[in-house]
Structure 1
Amino acid sequence: MSTMYEKVSALAVRETSKSIQEKIVKDAEIELIVNKTLTRKFSISPDSLKEFAMGYLLGEGLIRSLENVEEISIEENTVKVQVDMEDFDIVQELVVGSDCFGGWRQKIEFIDKVESEFTVDKKKLLKSFIKLKDNAFTWQKTGGAHVAALIYKDKFLSREDVSRHVAVDKVIGAGLLEKVDFKNSYIAYSGRMPADMLIKIARVGMPLIASNAAPTTSGYAVAKEAGITMVGFVRGERFNIYTHPHRVVID
Protein backbone atom coordinates (compact mmCIF):
# COMPACT_ATOMS: atom_id res chain seq x y z
CA MET A 1 0.00 0.00 0.00
CA SER A 2 1.39 3.40 -0.97
CA THR A 3 1.76 6.21 1.54
CA MET A 4 -1.51 8.11 1.74
CA TYR A 5 0.01 11.44 2.67
CA GLU A 6 2.86 13.75 1.75
CA LYS A 7 4.83 16.35 3.64
CA VAL A 8 4.54 20.03 2.78
CA SER A 9 5.80 23.27 4.25
CA ALA A 10 3.29 25.31 6.24
CA LEU A 11 3.26 28.34 8.50
CA ALA A 12 1.95 27.44 11.95
CA VAL A 13 0.32 30.42 13.64
CA ARG A 14 -0.19 30.22 17.39
CA GLU A 15 0.85 32.97 19.81
CA THR A 16 3.80 33.26 17.46
CA SER A 17 4.37 31.83 13.99
CA LYS A 18 6.95 29.40 12.67
CA SER A 19 7.63 27.24 9.61
CA ILE A 20 6.78 23.55 10.00
CA GLN A 21 6.60 20.35 7.97
CA GLU A 22 2.99 19.18 7.87
CA LYS A 23 1.50 15.89 6.61
CA ILE A 24 -1.48 16.28 4.26
CA VAL A 25 -3.65 13.51 2.85
CA LYS A 26 -3.32 12.58 -0.82
CA ASP A 27 -6.24 12.67 -3.22
CA ALA A 28 -6.45 12.15 -6.96
CA GLU A 29 -8.98 11.95 -9.77
CA ILE A 30 -9.62 8.28 -10.48
CA GLU A 31 -11.54 7.18 -13.57
CA LEU A 32 -13.57 3.97 -13.48
CA ILE A 33 -14.57 2.52 -16.86
CA VAL A 34 -17.01 -0.40 -16.92
CA ASN A 35 -17.62 -2.40 -20.10
CA LYS A 36 -16.12 0.48 -22.09
CA THR A 37 -19.44 2.37 -21.86
CA LEU A 38 -20.02 3.45 -18.26
CA THR A 39 -17.48 6.03 -17.09
CA ARG A 40 -17.29 7.70 -13.69
CA LYS A 41 -14.65 9.97 -12.18
CA PHE A 42 -14.01 10.18 -8.45
CA SER A 43 -11.83 12.34 -6.23
CA ILE A 44 -10.47 9.75 -3.81
CA SER A 45 -7.35 8.50 -2.07
CA PRO A 46 -5.33 6.69 -4.76
CA ASP A 47 -4.85 3.35 -3.01
CA SER A 48 -6.76 0.04 -2.76
CA LEU A 49 -8.22 0.77 -6.20
CA LYS A 50 -9.16 -2.84 -6.91
CA GLU A 51 -11.11 -3.02 -3.66
CA PHE A 52 -12.74 0.32 -4.46
CA ALA A 53 -13.85 -0.84 -7.90
CA MET A 54 -15.25 -4.13 -6.60
CA GLY A 55 -17.08 -2.47 -3.71
CA TYR A 56 -18.47 0.32 -5.87
CA LEU A 57 -19.76 -2.09 -8.51
CA LEU A 58 -21.39 -4.33 -5.91
CA GLY A 59 -22.85 -1.41 -3.98
CA GLU A 60 -24.32 0.09 -7.16
CA GLY A 61 -25.78 -3.22 -8.34
CA LEU A 62 -23.55 -3.43 -11.42
CA ILE A 63 -22.38 -6.85 -10.24
CA ARG A 64 -24.03 -9.33 -7.90
CA SER A 65 -21.00 -11.46 -7.10
CA LEU A 66 -17.30 -11.80 -7.87
CA GLU A 67 -18.21 -14.24 -10.65
CA ASN A 68 -19.68 -11.34 -12.65
CA VAL A 69 -16.22 -9.76 -12.99
CA GLU A 70 -14.47 -11.02 -16.11
CA GLU A 71 -11.43 -8.75 -16.06
CA ILE A 72 -9.99 -5.80 -14.16
CA SER A 73 -6.92 -3.72 -14.98
CA ILE A 74 -5.39 -0.71 -13.26
CA GLU A 75 -3.14 1.73 -15.10
CA GLU A 76 -2.06 4.69 -12.99
CA ASN A 77 -5.34 6.50 -12.18
CA THR A 78 -7.62 4.53 -14.50
CA VAL A 79 -9.47 1.36 -13.51
CA LYS A 80 -11.04 -0.70 -16.30
CA VAL A 81 -13.50 -3.47 -15.51
CA GLN A 82 -15.33 -5.90 -17.76
CA VAL A 83 -18.44 -7.42 -16.19
CA ASP A 84 -20.88 -10.06 -17.36
CA MET A 85 -24.48 -9.26 -16.45
CA GLU A 86 -27.50 -9.79 -18.66
CA ASP A 87 -29.28 -6.66 -17.40
CA PHE A 88 -26.19 -4.42 -17.25
CA ASP A 89 -27.70 -1.85 -19.64
CA ILE A 90 -30.79 -1.50 -17.43
CA VAL A 91 -28.90 -1.35 -14.14
CA GLN A 92 -26.42 1.30 -15.30
CA GLU A 93 -29.28 3.75 -15.84
CA LEU A 94 -29.78 3.84 -12.05
CA VAL A 95 -26.13 4.43 -11.19
CA VAL A 96 -24.96 7.72 -9.71
CA GLY A 97 -21.56 8.69 -8.33
CA SER A 98 -20.48 7.12 -5.06
CA ASP A 99 -20.65 10.47 -3.30
CA CYS A 100 -23.91 11.73 -4.81
CA PHE A 101 -27.40 11.83 -3.33
CA GLY A 102 -29.22 10.74 -6.48
CA GLY A 103 -32.84 9.59 -6.66
CA TRP A 104 -32.79 7.33 -3.62
CA ARG A 105 -36.52 6.71 -3.60
CA GLN A 106 -36.33 5.24 -7.10
CA LYS A 107 -33.27 3.19 -6.22
CA ILE A 108 -34.68 1.68 -3.01
CA GLU A 109 -37.56 0.19 -5.02
CA PHE A 110 -35.06 -2.11 -6.74
CA ILE A 111 -33.52 -3.42 -3.50
CA ASP A 112 -34.70 -6.45 -1.55
CA LYS A 113 -35.25 -6.03 2.17
CA VAL A 114 -32.28 -7.30 4.19
CA GLU A 115 -33.16 -10.59 5.87
CA SER A 116 -30.60 -11.69 8.45
CA GLU A 117 -30.53 -13.33 11.88
CA PHE A 118 -27.25 -11.56 12.67
CA THR A 119 -26.77 -10.00 16.10
CA VAL A 120 -23.86 -8.25 17.81
CA ASP A 121 -23.45 -7.59 21.51
CA LYS A 122 -22.87 -4.15 22.94
CA LYS A 123 -19.30 -4.83 24.09
CA LYS A 124 -18.16 -6.09 20.69
CA LEU A 125 -19.74 -3.12 18.95
CA LEU A 126 -17.97 -0.66 21.24
CA LYS A 127 -14.65 -2.50 20.92
CA SER A 128 -14.90 -2.34 17.13
CA PHE A 129 -14.82 1.46 17.34
CA ILE A 130 -11.72 1.39 19.53
CA LYS A 131 -10.08 -0.78 16.89
CA LEU A 132 -11.45 1.46 14.13
CA LYS A 133 -9.70 4.46 15.67
CA ASP A 134 -6.49 2.46 16.13
CA ASN A 135 -6.57 1.58 12.41
CA ALA A 136 -7.15 5.17 11.28
CA PHE A 137 -3.46 5.67 10.52
CA THR A 138 -3.90 8.35 7.87
CA TRP A 139 -6.44 10.26 9.95
CA GLN A 140 -4.04 10.20 12.91
CA LYS A 141 -1.27 11.71 10.78
CA THR A 142 -3.33 14.18 8.72
CA GLY A 143 -6.81 14.60 10.18
CA GLY A 144 -8.01 14.39 6.57
CA ALA A 145 -9.35 10.87 6.03
CA HIS A 146 -12.39 8.79 6.87
CA VAL A 147 -12.00 5.20 8.04
CA ALA A 148 -14.34 2.24 7.57
CA ALA A 149 -14.19 -1.35 8.72
CA LEU A 150 -16.06 -4.50 7.82
CA ILE A 151 -16.36 -6.86 10.78
CA TYR A 152 -17.04 -10.54 10.08
CA LYS A 153 -16.34 -13.21 12.70
CA ASP A 154 -12.63 -12.72 13.52
CA LYS A 155 -11.95 -10.56 10.44
CA PHE A 156 -11.51 -6.81 10.77
CA LEU A 157 -11.01 -5.32 7.30
CA SER A 158 -10.31 -1.58 7.38
CA ARG A 159 -9.60 1.05 4.74
CA GLU A 160 -9.25 4.84 4.72
CA ASP A 161 -10.17 7.45 2.14
CA VAL A 162 -10.80 11.17 1.81
CA SER A 163 -14.39 10.19 0.95
CA ARG A 164 -16.49 8.41 3.56
CA HIS A 165 -18.45 6.70 0.77
CA VAL A 166 -15.32 5.40 -0.91
CA ALA A 167 -13.88 4.18 2.39
CA VAL A 168 -16.99 2.00 2.66
CA ASP A 169 -16.70 0.95 -1.01
CA LYS A 170 -13.15 -0.20 -0.31
CA VAL A 171 -14.04 -2.39 2.68
CA ILE A 172 -17.00 -3.87 0.81
CA GLY A 173 -14.63 -4.69 -2.05
CA ALA A 174 -12.12 -6.19 0.38
CA GLY A 175 -14.89 -8.31 1.85
CA LEU A 176 -16.01 -9.44 -1.59
CA LEU A 177 -12.47 -10.49 -2.51
CA GLU A 178 -12.17 -12.42 0.77
CA LYS A 179 -15.57 -14.07 0.25
CA VAL A 180 -17.14 -12.59 3.38
CA ASP A 181 -20.75 -13.54 4.14
CA PHE A 182 -22.18 -10.02 4.13
CA LYS A 183 -25.44 -11.08 5.79
CA ASN A 184 -23.44 -11.95 8.91
CA SER A 185 -21.21 -8.90 9.03
CA TYR A 186 -21.49 -5.19 9.74
CA ILE A 187 -19.91 -1.86 8.88
CA ALA A 188 -18.32 0.51 11.40
CA TYR A 189 -17.18 3.83 10.04
CA SER A 190 -16.71 7.56 10.53
CA GLY A 191 -19.25 9.76 8.80
CA ARG A 192 -22.90 10.66 8.45
CA MET A 193 -25.46 8.08 7.35
CA PRO A 194 -27.50 9.48 4.43
CA ALA A 195 -29.74 7.58 2.01
CA ASP A 196 -27.11 6.74 -0.59
CA MET A 197 -24.89 5.13 2.05
CA LEU A 198 -27.77 3.02 3.37
CA ILE A 199 -28.79 1.98 -0.15
CA LYS A 200 -25.24 0.76 -0.72
CA ILE A 201 -25.39 -1.29 2.49
CA ALA A 202 -28.84 -2.67 1.64
CA ARG A 203 -27.83 -3.71 -1.85
CA VAL A 204 -24.85 -5.63 -0.48
CA GLY A 205 -27.16 -7.28 2.06
CA MET A 206 -25.49 -6.16 5.29
CA PRO A 207 -27.84 -5.99 8.28
CA LEU A 208 -26.14 -3.30 10.38
CA ILE A 209 -24.20 -0.08 10.00
CA ALA A 210 -22.69 1.85 12.90
CA SER A 211 -21.06 5.27 12.95
CA ASN A 212 -19.62 7.72 15.42
CA ALA A 213 -21.62 10.39 13.59
CA ALA A 214 -25.27 11.18 12.91
CA PRO A 215 -27.95 9.78 10.62
CA THR A 216 -29.98 11.91 8.23
CA THR A 217 -33.73 11.69 7.69
CA SER A 218 -33.26 10.10 4.26
CA GLY A 219 -30.83 7.54 5.68
CA TYR A 220 -33.21 6.77 8.53
CA ALA A 221 -36.07 6.20 6.06
CA VAL A 222 -34.00 3.80 3.94
CA ALA A 223 -32.71 1.89 6.98
CA LYS A 224 -36.23 1.48 8.33
CA GLU A 225 -37.66 0.36 4.99
CA ALA A 226 -34.75 -1.90 4.01
CA GLY A 227 -34.54 -3.70 7.36
CA ILE A 228 -31.12 -2.36 8.36
CA THR A 229 -30.10 -1.67 11.94
CA MET A 230 -28.71 1.88 12.10
CA VAL A 231 -26.49 2.80 15.05
CA GLY A 232 -25.20 6.34 15.47
CA PHE A 233 -23.11 8.46 17.83
CA VAL A 234 -20.95 5.53 18.96
CA ARG A 235 -18.72 7.37 21.40
CA GLY A 236 -17.12 6.06 24.56
CA GLU A 237 -19.63 3.74 26.22
CA ARG A 238 -22.76 5.06 24.51
CA PHE A 239 -24.63 4.95 21.21
CA ASN A 240 -28.13 5.39 19.76
CA ILE A 241 -30.00 2.66 17.87
CA TYR A 242 -32.38 4.27 15.38
CA THR A 243 -33.88 1.31 13.52
CA HIS A 244 -34.39 -2.44 14.04
CA PRO A 245 -32.76 -2.56 17.51
CA HIS A 246 -33.21 -6.34 17.92
CA ARG A 247 -29.82 -6.97 16.29
CA VAL A 248 -27.87 -5.30 19.11
CA VAL A 249 -27.72 -7.36 22.31
CA ILE A 250 -27.66 -4.84 25.16
CA ASP A 251 -27.52 -7.17 28.18
Structure 2
Amino acid sequence: MSQLKNFISLPITKVVKDRTYPQDDRVVQEVPVTLFLNDEEFVTLVCSPQHLRELAVGFLCSEGILQQPSDLHYLSVNEKEGIIKINATAGQAEKQFLKRYITSCCGRGRSSFYFINDARSMSRINSHISITPYQVWNLTTQLESMSTLFQNTGGVHNAALCTPENVVVFFEDIGRHNAVDKIFGHCFLKTIQMNDKILVFSGRISSEILIKVAKMNIPILVSRSAPTALAVNMANELGMTVVGFARDNRFNIYTNPRRIII
Protein backbone atom coordinates (compact mmCIF):
# COMPACT_ATOMS: atom_id res chain seq x y z
CA MET A 1 0.00 0.00 0.00
CA SER A 2 1.30 3.43 -0.94
CA GLN A 3 2.32 5.75 1.90
CA LEU A 4 1.77 8.81 -0.28
CA LYS A 5 -1.56 10.59 -0.10
CA ASN A 6 -3.55 10.69 -3.32
CA PHE A 7 -4.84 14.21 -2.61
CA ILE A 8 -4.18 17.17 -0.32
CA SER A 9 -6.33 19.99 1.04
CA LEU A 10 -5.44 23.54 -0.01
CA PRO A 11 -6.93 26.93 0.91
CA ILE A 12 -8.70 28.52 -2.04
CA THR A 13 -10.95 31.45 -2.81
CA LYS A 14 -14.29 30.37 -4.23
CA VAL A 15 -16.20 32.83 -6.43
CA VAL A 16 -19.99 32.61 -6.73
CA LYS A 17 -21.49 35.35 -8.89
CA ASP A 18 -20.08 38.56 -7.36
CA ARG A 19 -19.07 37.17 -3.97
CA THR A 20 -15.92 35.41 -2.76
CA TYR A 21 -15.60 32.76 -0.06
CA PRO A 22 -12.47 31.34 1.57
CA GLN A 23 -12.55 27.57 1.89
CA ASP A 24 -10.44 24.43 1.59
CA ASP A 25 -10.44 22.31 -1.55
CA ARG A 26 -9.14 18.79 -2.18
CA VAL A 27 -6.54 18.74 -4.95
CA VAL A 28 -5.25 15.52 -6.54
CA GLN A 29 -1.56 14.65 -6.19
CA GLU A 30 0.72 14.38 -9.23
CA VAL A 31 4.23 12.89 -9.09
CA PRO A 32 7.01 12.11 -11.59
CA VAL A 33 8.34 8.57 -11.43
CA THR A 34 11.46 7.47 -13.30
CA LEU A 35 11.64 3.92 -14.58
CA PHE A 36 15.05 2.27 -14.91
CA LEU A 37 15.04 -0.74 -17.22
CA ASN A 38 18.02 -3.10 -17.07
CA ASP A 39 20.01 -0.50 -15.09
CA GLU A 40 19.45 2.29 -17.64
CA GLU A 41 17.12 5.27 -17.29
CA PHE A 42 14.22 4.42 -19.57
CA VAL A 43 11.31 6.84 -19.14
CA THR A 44 9.68 9.26 -16.70
CA LEU A 45 5.96 8.82 -16.07
CA VAL A 46 3.80 11.50 -14.45
CA CYS A 47 1.05 9.85 -12.47
CA SER A 48 -0.96 9.46 -9.29
CA PRO A 49 1.32 8.13 -6.54
CA GLN A 50 -0.47 4.81 -6.02
CA HIS A 51 0.01 1.35 -7.55
CA LEU A 52 3.35 2.27 -9.13
CA ARG A 53 4.28 -1.40 -9.46
CA GLU A 54 1.24 -2.07 -11.64
CA LEU A 55 1.78 1.13 -13.63
CA ALA A 56 5.40 0.29 -14.50
CA VAL A 57 4.63 -3.29 -15.49
CA GLY A 58 1.55 -2.28 -17.47
CA PHE A 59 3.47 0.42 -19.31
CA LEU A 60 6.15 -2.08 -20.35
CA CYS A 61 3.42 -4.53 -21.42
CA SER A 62 1.81 -1.81 -23.54
CA GLU A 63 5.15 -1.06 -25.16
CA GLY A 64 5.65 -4.75 -26.00
CA ILE A 65 8.69 -5.09 -23.76
CA LEU A 66 7.04 -7.49 -21.30
CA GLN A 67 5.14 -10.17 -23.16
CA GLN A 68 5.07 -13.09 -20.72
CA PRO A 69 5.69 -13.53 -16.97
CA SER A 70 9.13 -15.06 -17.53
CA ASP A 71 10.28 -11.77 -19.13
CA LEU A 72 10.14 -10.03 -15.73
CA HIS A 73 13.19 -10.83 -13.57
CA TYR A 74 13.30 -8.10 -10.91
CA LEU A 75 11.10 -5.22 -9.76
CA SER A 76 11.58 -2.67 -6.97
CA VAL A 77 9.68 0.53 -6.20
CA ASN A 78 11.08 3.44 -4.15
CA GLU A 79 8.13 5.75 -3.60
CA LYS A 80 10.10 8.32 -1.63
CA GLU A 81 12.67 8.78 -4.39
CA GLY A 82 10.21 8.25 -7.25
CA ILE A 83 12.27 5.46 -8.77
CA ILE A 84 11.23 2.09 -10.17
CA LYS A 85 13.84 -0.48 -11.17
CA ILE A 86 13.01 -3.39 -13.45
CA ASN A 87 15.22 -6.06 -14.95
CA ALA A 88 13.62 -7.83 -17.89
CA THR A 89 14.46 -9.88 -20.93
CA ALA A 90 15.80 -7.48 -23.55
CA GLY A 91 14.14 -7.58 -26.92
CA GLN A 92 13.63 -5.64 -30.11
CA ALA A 93 10.91 -3.48 -28.53
CA GLU A 94 13.35 -2.17 -25.94
CA LYS A 95 15.98 -1.43 -28.54
CA GLN A 96 13.53 0.52 -30.70
CA PHE A 97 11.96 2.46 -27.84
CA LEU A 98 12.62 6.20 -28.02
CA LYS A 99 13.37 7.72 -24.63
CA ARG A 100 10.81 10.42 -23.94
CA TYR A 101 9.09 12.31 -21.17
CA ILE A 102 5.46 11.25 -20.83
CA THR A 103 3.03 13.72 -19.29
CA SER A 104 -0.19 12.88 -17.51
CA CYS A 105 -2.19 13.51 -20.70
CA CYS A 106 0.25 11.23 -22.55
CA GLY A 107 -0.30 12.82 -25.94
CA ARG A 108 3.00 14.28 -27.10
CA GLY A 109 5.92 11.98 -27.67
CA ARG A 110 4.15 8.64 -27.98
CA SER A 111 5.16 8.49 -31.61
CA SER A 112 4.31 4.85 -32.23
CA PHE A 113 0.68 5.40 -31.33
CA TYR A 114 0.12 7.94 -34.08
CA PHE A 115 0.38 5.29 -36.79
CA ILE A 116 -2.42 2.94 -37.70
CA ASN A 117 0.24 0.35 -38.54
CA ASP A 118 0.56 -0.12 -34.79
CA ALA A 119 -2.95 -1.58 -34.87
CA ARG A 120 -2.47 -3.46 -38.12
CA SER A 121 0.44 -5.35 -36.62
CA MET A 122 -1.92 -6.96 -34.09
CA SER A 123 -4.29 -9.86 -34.58
CA ARG A 124 -8.06 -9.48 -34.72
CA ILE A 125 -9.78 -10.16 -31.43
CA ASN A 126 -12.06 -13.20 -31.53
CA SER A 127 -14.32 -13.51 -28.51
CA HIS A 128 -17.87 -14.71 -28.00
CA ILE A 129 -18.48 -12.59 -24.91
CA SER A 130 -21.68 -10.53 -25.00
CA ILE A 131 -23.39 -8.00 -22.77
CA THR A 132 -26.89 -6.56 -22.42
CA PRO A 133 -27.75 -2.85 -22.20
CA TYR A 134 -28.73 -3.31 -18.55
CA GLN A 135 -25.29 -4.79 -17.84
CA VAL A 136 -23.59 -1.88 -19.61
CA TRP A 137 -25.42 0.63 -17.41
CA ASN A 138 -24.84 -1.45 -14.29
CA LEU A 139 -21.08 -1.57 -14.90
CA THR A 140 -20.84 2.18 -15.56
CA THR A 141 -22.79 2.76 -12.33
CA GLN A 142 -20.36 0.51 -10.45
CA LEU A 143 -17.42 2.39 -11.97
CA GLU A 144 -18.86 5.71 -10.85
CA SER A 145 -19.60 4.50 -7.30
CA MET A 146 -16.03 3.17 -6.91
CA SER A 147 -14.44 6.42 -8.10
CA THR A 148 -13.86 7.91 -4.65
CA LEU A 149 -10.78 9.92 -5.67
CA PHE A 150 -12.73 11.51 -8.51
CA GLN A 151 -15.58 12.27 -6.13
CA ASN A 152 -13.11 13.97 -3.77
CA THR A 153 -11.11 15.91 -6.35
CA GLY A 154 -12.65 15.71 -9.82
CA GLY A 155 -9.08 15.34 -11.07
CA VAL A 156 -8.64 11.73 -12.16
CA HIS A 157 -9.75 9.14 -14.70
CA ASN A 158 -10.86 5.65 -13.77
CA ALA A 159 -10.90 2.29 -15.49
CA ALA A 160 -12.27 -1.12 -14.58
CA LEU A 161 -11.84 -4.63 -15.93
CA CYS A 162 -15.21 -6.37 -15.68
CA THR A 163 -17.20 -9.48 -16.28
CA PRO A 164 -20.68 -8.74 -17.68
CA GLU A 165 -21.93 -8.65 -14.09
CA ASN A 166 -19.21 -7.14 -11.89
CA VAL A 167 -15.97 -5.16 -11.64
CA VAL A 168 -12.92 -7.40 -11.26
CA VAL A 169 -10.09 -4.81 -11.20
CA PHE A 170 -10.36 -1.04 -10.67
CA PHE A 171 -7.78 1.77 -10.81
CA GLU A 172 -7.79 5.58 -10.80
CA ASP A 173 -5.06 7.92 -12.04
CA ILE A 174 -4.55 11.50 -13.21
CA GLY A 175 -3.67 10.05 -16.63
CA ARG A 176 -6.17 8.16 -18.79
CA HIS A 177 -3.39 5.97 -20.14
CA ASN A 178 -1.99 5.34 -16.67
CA ALA A 179 -5.32 4.00 -15.38
CA VAL A 180 -5.42 1.48 -18.25
CA ASP A 181 -1.74 0.58 -17.82
CA LYS A 182 -2.35 -0.16 -14.13
CA ILE A 183 -5.03 -2.65 -15.10
CA PHE A 184 -2.68 -4.21 -17.68
CA GLY A 185 0.11 -4.48 -15.10
CA HIS A 186 -2.14 -5.95 -12.41
CA CYS A 187 -3.46 -8.61 -14.78
CA PHE A 188 0.06 -9.44 -15.97
CA LEU A 189 1.32 -9.85 -12.40
CA LYS A 190 -1.72 -11.85 -11.27
CA THR A 191 -2.09 -13.80 -14.57
CA ILE A 192 -5.71 -12.70 -14.97
CA GLN A 193 -7.29 -13.64 -18.29
CA MET A 194 -8.58 -10.61 -20.20
CA ASN A 195 -10.03 -11.89 -23.49
CA ASP A 196 -13.33 -12.74 -21.78
CA LYS A 197 -13.66 -9.39 -20.03
CA ILE A 198 -14.92 -5.84 -20.67
CA LEU A 199 -13.02 -2.61 -20.04
CA VAL A 200 -15.18 0.20 -18.66
CA PHE A 201 -13.55 3.61 -18.84
CA SER A 202 -14.32 7.20 -17.85
CA GLY A 203 -12.35 9.06 -20.51
CA ARG A 204 -12.32 9.70 -24.23
CA ILE A 205 -11.52 6.67 -26.38
CA SER A 206 -8.56 7.90 -28.39
CA SER A 207 -6.47 5.79 -30.75
CA GLU A 208 -3.85 5.37 -28.02
CA ILE A 209 -6.41 4.02 -25.55
CA LEU A 210 -7.93 1.75 -28.20
CA ILE A 211 -4.53 0.25 -29.03
CA LYS A 212 -3.72 -0.33 -25.35
CA VAL A 213 -7.00 -2.19 -24.87
CA ALA A 214 -6.43 -4.17 -28.08
CA LYS A 215 -2.99 -5.23 -26.83
CA MET A 216 -4.74 -6.49 -23.69
CA ASN A 217 -6.92 -8.63 -26.00
CA ILE A 218 -10.12 -7.19 -24.52
CA PRO A 219 -13.06 -7.45 -26.95
CA ILE A 220 -15.44 -4.80 -25.54
CA LEU A 221 -14.54 -1.24 -24.56
CA VAL A 222 -17.22 0.87 -22.86
CA SER A 223 -16.77 4.55 -22.04
CA ARG A 224 -18.86 7.29 -20.52
CA SER A 225 -17.24 9.60 -23.07
CA ALA A 226 -16.72 9.76 -26.85
CA PRO A 227 -14.43 7.86 -29.24
CA THR A 228 -12.35 9.45 -31.97
CA ALA A 229 -12.81 8.57 -35.63
CA LEU A 230 -9.36 6.92 -35.78
CA ALA A 231 -10.19 4.79 -32.75
CA VAL A 232 -13.42 3.66 -34.41
CA ASN A 233 -11.56 2.74 -37.61
CA MET A 234 -9.00 0.76 -35.63
CA ALA A 235 -11.72 -1.01 -33.64
CA ASN A 236 -13.41 -2.11 -36.85
CA GLU A 237 -10.14 -3.45 -38.17
CA LEU A 238 -9.36 -5.27 -34.92
CA GLY A 239 -12.82 -6.73 -34.37
CA MET A 240 -13.45 -4.80 -31.14
CA THR A 241 -16.79 -3.54 -29.89
CA VAL A 242 -16.72 0.14 -28.90
CA VAL A 243 -19.51 1.70 -26.83
CA GLY A 244 -19.50 5.41 -26.05
CA PHE A 245 -21.59 7.91 -24.05
CA ALA A 246 -22.73 5.12 -21.72
CA ARG A 247 -24.68 7.07 -19.13
CA ASP A 248 -28.23 8.02 -18.17
CA ASN A 249 -29.74 4.82 -19.59
CA ARG A 250 -28.36 5.37 -23.08
CA PHE A 251 -25.25 4.62 -25.11
CA ASN A 252 -23.95 4.53 -28.68
CA ILE A 253 -22.53 1.39 -30.30
CA TYR A 254 -19.83 2.42 -32.77
CA THR A 255 -18.41 -0.94 -33.89
CA ASN A 256 -19.27 -4.64 -33.90
CA PRO A 257 -22.75 -4.41 -32.32
CA ARG A 258 -23.15 -8.22 -32.33
CA ARG A 259 -21.72 -8.37 -28.81
CA ILE A 260 -24.47 -6.13 -27.42
CA ILE A 261 -27.55 -8.34 -26.92
CA ILE A 262 -30.72 -6.25 -27.19
TM-score by length of 1: 0.91
* Residues 1:195 and 2:198 aligned together: no
Cα distance per residue 1:103-131 (max 9 Å; x no partner): 33232232122121221222222101101
Structure 1's unaligned 5+ residue stretches are none
Structure 2's unaligned 5+ residue stretches are none
Letter of the structure 1 residue corresponding to residue 33 of structure 2: I
* Residues 1:44 and 2:47 aligned together: yes
Paired positions, count:
250
CA distance in 2, matches of 1:96, 1:222: 26
Letter of the structure 2 residue corresponding to residue 122 of structure 1: P
Match of 1:17 among 17, 20, 23: 20
Match of 2:187 among 175, 180, 191: 175
Name 1:139's counterpart in structure 2.
Answer: 150
Question: How far 1:30 sits from its partner (Å)?
Answer: 1.4
Match of 2:88 among 78, 83, 89: 83
Match of 1:74 among 71, 77, 96: 77
Question: How far 1:83 sits from its partner (Å)?
Answer: 1.4
Judged with a 3 Å threshold, the aligned counterparts in structure 2 of structure 1 residues 33 and 106 are, in CA distance, closer, same or farther, namely farther
On the 8 A contact 2:139/2:167 being kept in 1, the answer is no
Cα distance per residue 1:107-165 (max 9 Å; x no partner): 22321221212212222221011010001111101111111111147552111111111
CA distance in 2, matches of 1:57, 1:206: 18
On the 8 A contact 2:44/2:100 being kept in 1, the answer is no
CA distance in 1, matches of 2:199, 2:15: 38
* Residues 1:113 and 2:116 aligned together: no
Name 1:4's counterpart in structure 2.
Answer: 6
Name 1:158's counterpart in structure 2.
Answer: 170
On the 8 A contact 1:71/1:83 being kept in 2, the answer is yes
Name 1:214's counterpart in structure 2.
Answer: 226
Question: How far 1:88 sits from its partner (Å)?
Answer: 4.0
TM-score by length of 2: 0.88
Judged with a 3 Å threshold, the aligned counterparts in structure 2 of structure 1 residues 224 and 37 are, in CA distance, closer, same or farther, namely farther
Name 2:258's counterpart in structure 1.
Answer: 246
CA distance in 2, matches of 1:148, 1:89: 27
Question: How far 1:184 sits from its partner (Å)?
Answer: 0.4
Judged with a 3 Å threshold, the aligned counterparts in structure 2 of structure 1 residues 23 and 94 are, in CA distance, closer, same or farther, namely closer
Judged with a 3 Å threshold, the aligned counterparts in structure 2 of structure 1 residues 91 and 195 are, in CA distance, closer, same or farther, namely same
Name 2:248's counterpart in structure 1.
Answer: 236
SS in structure 2 of the partner of residue 219 of structure 1: helix
Cα distance per residue 1:162-207 (max 9 Å; x no partner): 1111111112222223322110011101111111111111111111
SS in structure 1 of the partner of residue 23 of structure 2: strand
On the 8 A contact 2:143/2:158 being kept in 1, the answer is yes
Cα distance per residue 1:44-86 (max 9 Å; x no partner): 1111101111211212211112232111111121112111254
SS in structure 2 of the partner of residue 191 of structure 1: coil
CA distance in 1, matches of 2:46, 2:98: 22
SS in structure 1 of the partner of residue 208 of structure 2: helix
CA distance in 2, matches of 1:71, 1:233: 41
